[in-house]
Structure 1
Amino acid sequence: MTKLSDTQLVILSVAAQRNDRNVLPLPGSLRGGAAQKVIGTLMKRGLIAETVTDQRAKADPALNRIWRNDEDGRAILLHITDAGLAAIGIEPEQTDINPAPEARTPRTGTKQAKLIEMLRAEDGATIDEIAMALQWRSHTIRGALAGALKKRLGLTITSEKVEGRGRVYAIRD
């Protein structure tokens, strides 16, 4: 096992726990020249590496998520390498540096499950119909559609105006 300082161990351990394996942000007490020195040592030993992205975001002076920018202005991130994982005793896996978020599944028997059931019905559902069935207010329903269903669960919600019924929402796969 590679001999590492306590600071290096903390940096590598935290990076190993992140889904994207990003080394940044560094511990709050590590700034300026000390941060540069520790990062430089880890890079020389091949325990962390730079990843060039297509992002044009500027590097944060507090070393929040972006390490530096290349000459074209693209953001460069730092990530732990397989050698870095091995140095802290973690078996390297085949991982993607930028994994897709895991799809979540709703619990059964909840109001959210009932909402999904109503939206999956052939005719869909209006805000008024959902409000009556779930005893929710319209702003709660709209929040659930946009937040829980679209963002968290990744469902595709469609909306169309139906004569005599109003705006009808539905989940279409």
Structure 2
Amino acid sequence: MSRAQPTTAKLSDTQLVILSTAAKRDDGSLLPFPETLTAKGAALTKVVENLSKRKLVEEKQTLNGTPEWRRDEERGALGLFITKSGLLALGINETEETKPSNVAASKPRQRKTSAAKPRSKPQKASAAKPKGRAAPSQSKQDLVLQMLRRQSGVTIKDIIAKTGWQAHSVRGFFSGLVRKKLKLPLVSDVGKDGMRRYHIAPRSSC
């Protein structure tokens, strides 16, 4: 019942690159900004303020050497982090496995138990039994890159079906991350069935 639906209007290329990069980081930090951004100085600050107004990013206290955005007299060093709304704007539903922010990471996870349970089972038992849920070793972005490396190519519809992203998020991923940040040779062609397929061309080895 929890469908990943974007809660925002369309994002600009700059906003997409910033949010996509933050979503890929373990702590969800926007900083450091990607070097490929064309917006700098006051223009970049305006982009961040816009994202903050739309609740797609938020300021939090920085820990463990996370880059700081600004300093506040009361709260100290503050960083910039992507929010759940920001992830949803990219078509990423993180309701079950949310990325830990720096603040959340400092608090140990505790499950609700009626009483303190003694450790009865050794660790080997958990290693022997594979968990029902696959560990999030492969992110949606990695999955899409894997699909794009197929020789047969992949359609935008295929990517939407696999990730739950919206079409504009997929196109933003192509332009912002694949082409600009990773500088991969993404090409597309229309097949006999009239469908446009995208794939990463193999690099010519001279």
TM-score (norm 1): 0.48
Structure number with bigger Rg: 1
TM-score (norm 2): 0.41
